[in-house]
Amino acid sequence: MARKRAEGKLEEIADAAVACFSELGIRRTEMADVAKAAGVSAGTLYLYVSSKEALLHLAILRVCARPLASLTLPLEDPGIGATVEIFAARVKEVRHWPTFDAALAGSVSISMDVLSAIGRELYDMLHEARRAIWLVDRCAREVPAFEQLHALDLRARHRDQLAEIALKLAGVSSGPSPEQKLAARLAIETVAWAAMHRLRESSTNAIAGLGDDGARETAAESFAVTLSTAAMRSRRNRPDI
């Protein structure tokens, strides 16, 4: 028999699970940790989820903006494959990167303005999906399917594609070198810090007076400069150009 939910309690448990898994990972997170963070007893928690695996699925549903109201309680574990699929679908939903796609396809001329526009697109995507990324970043080392999707299929592929786009600015047709891939990774991390990680800074380390608009523009400009500098260096090192 499905349990009747207390108003807002499942959402509170989901948010507590997100916080605990994002900080501690899967193995170190105990059901008691989430129960305490949600302000319920361990026994009450099991009325909402059947296991820690089901709790992880609930957390993924929450950060991926999936509705919780229709869930049958206690929530059962659907298997890690189903949990990873929820995140994969969310990635596709938030991937609003038209300038990047056009640059990769060669349908726009690469310029500093285009690189900055790509930086803004990346900023917006990371900012919107930040809770999901924090959670999956922490759990990926324990779930190979998350590691494959997030670190390899997404992060590494986009890094290499950005390096290729930057080389077009310099008129270099050869593939990116390891140093250019590093520059692309540094450019991505610059945007990631501004879009996501600065929001987790302590009050001591936070930059006073820095708003979202200022962070977005500064990150996008730094992103473009980092990519273009590495690309132009590769051009200078090519005597045949």
Predicted structure pTM score: 0.89
| Domain residue spans of the chain | 9-78, 87-236
Band (pLDDT 50/70/90 cuts) for residue 237 is: low
Fold of the domain built from segment(s) 87-236: Tetracycline Repressor; domain 2 (1.10.357)
- At residue 51, does pLDDT exceed 60? yes
The string over 201-231, giving b where at least 16 C-beta atoms fall within 10 Å of a residue's C-beta and e elsewhere, is: eeeeeeeeeeeeeebbebbbbbbbbbbbebb
> pLDDT tens digits for 196-218?
999 999 999 999 999 999 999 99
| CATH no., domain 9-78 | 1.10.10.60
Cβ neighbours of 183 (radius 10 Å): 24
